[in-house]
Amino acid sequence: MTKYQQININNKFDKFSDYWSPRIIAEMNDYQFKLVKVQGEFVWHEHSDTDEVFIVIDGKLIIEFRDGRVELKPGEMFIVPKGIEHKPVAQHESKIMIIEPRGVINTGDAGGELTAGNDVWI
Amino acid sequence: MTKYQQININNKFDKFSDYWSPRIIAEMNDYQFKLVKVQGEFVWHEHSDTDEVFIVIDGKLIIEFRDGRVELKPGEMFIVPKGIEHKPVAQHESKIMIIEPRGVINTGDAGGELTAGNDVWI
């Protein structure tokens, strides 16, 4: 019998503690499922070539836009359209799942010190 | 100000009750996020062109393979590789999120009476 192994999202979150540094847990075709812990304010940035999915697993995530904002609680999701500037913010530590194509950089066009390695698996 | 609207996954599940009939709640590029309620046994089938993601929101999902199986609880996920025959099974009503490219038919190559419309939004 082949061993098929499920992925437990919360168990994966126990494996790291730093903020704004996505870890990859799975790939579907050329898309990746990433977990990230967030706290504080990220940088304004955009991804010119792709939409980006945020699903809140624990805590609360605010995504600010130049002309509005959205607040996500656990079990809520939002898809940031490609080319739209956004800034994720979390008042308290929160756990987020991100889904986007392989190779997307977390800071998009902005770069800077919060730019994380983009192919780190756990 | 633009109105940005989050998607609440559980609220979307309250909007339908039939089994094995996926509803679309969001699109990321050419991929779709679908919710489906399941109970009982689905049919053996495969998707020859794409991987398929299953995330359990509530209940329990068993995915049978010809040479094994995987059991998923809430907060667990599994990616069925393309071309691999599988049969989803749930003893009790369970709530599942599926992620796959736009246009994928739920019964894959198998067809039959459980084939659902493939672009039904809620």
A120 in a structural domain: no
Q: Do B10 and A75 touch (CB under 8 A)?
A: yes
CATH of the domain at B62: 2.60.120.10
Number of domains in chain A: 1
A117 in a structural domain: no
The single-letter DSSP state of residue A9 is H
B4 in a structural domain: no
Q: What is the mean pLDDT of residues B3-27?
A: 97
B77-114 tens-digit pLDDT: 999 999 999 999 999 999 999 999 999 999 999 999 99
All residues of chain A having their beta carbon less than 8 Å from the beta carbon of residue B75 are 8-10, 57
Q: What is the mean pLDDT of residues B13-23?
A: 97
Q: What angle do CA A67, A69, A72 make, to 5 degrees?
A: 165
Q: What is the mean pLDDT of chain B?
A: 96
Q: What is the pLDDT of residue A26?
A: 98
Taking the C-alpha atoms of residue B4 and residue A17, their distance in angstroms, rounded to an integer, is: 30
Taking the C-alpha atoms of residue A42 and residue A107, their distance in angstroms, rounded to an integer, is: 9
B27 in a structural domain: yes
Number of C-beta neighbours around residue B46 at 10 A: 17
Q: Cα A104 vs. chain centroid, distance in angstroms?
A: 11
Q: Do A2 and B79 touch (CB under 8 A)?
A: no
Q: Which amino acid is at A99?
A: I
State the residue range of the domain holding B90.
9-101
- Asked if pLDDT for residue B1 goes beyond 90, the answer is no
B30 in a structural domain: yes
A19 in a structural domain: yes
B118 in a structural domain: no
Provide the shortest C-alpha distance from residue B53 to chain A (in Å): 7
Nearest CA in chain B to A27: B79
Q: Do B99 and A99 touch (CB under 8 A)?
A: yes
B22-59 tens-digit pLDDT: 999 999 999 999 999 999 999 999 999 999 999 999 99
Reduce the secondary structure of chain B to three states and give it as a string: CCCCCCEEHHHHHCCCCCECCCEEEEEECCEEEEEEEEEEECCCECCCCCCEEEEEEECCEEEEECCEEEEECCCEEEEECCCCCEEEEEEEEEEEEEEEECCCCCCCCCCCCCCCCCCCEC
Q: Do B52 and A28 touch (CB under 8 A)?
A: yes
Q: Do B53 and A28 touch (CB under 8 A)?
A: yes
Task: Give residue A118's pLDDT band: very low, low, confident or very high (50, 70, 90).
Answer: confident
Q: What DSSP string describes A29-87?
A: TTEEEEEEEEEEE---B--TT--EEEEEEES-EEEEETTEEEEE-TTEEEEEPTT--EE
B58-80 tens-digit pLDDT: 999 999 999 999 999 999 999 99
Taking the C-alpha atoms of residue A102 and residue B39, their distance in angstroms, rounded to an integer, is: 34
Q: What is the pLDDT of residue A3?
A: 86
Given a contact cutoff of 8 angstroms between Cβ atoms, the answer to whether B9 and B25 are in contact is yes
A27 in a structural domain: yes
Taking the C-alpha atoms of residue A93 and residue A37, their distance in angstroms, rounded to an integer, is: 7
- Asked if pLDDT for residue A1 goes beyond 80, the answer is no
With left for phi above 0 and alpha for psi between -120 and 50, is residue B103 left, alpha or beta?
left
A56-112 tens-digit pLDDT: 999 999 999 999 999 999 999 999 999 999 999 999 999 999 999 999 999 999 999
The minimal CB distance from A2 to the residues B52, B68, B82 is found for B68
Phi, psi of B95 (to 5 degrees): -115, 125
All residues of chain A having their beta carbon less than 8 Å from the beta carbon of residue B52 are 28
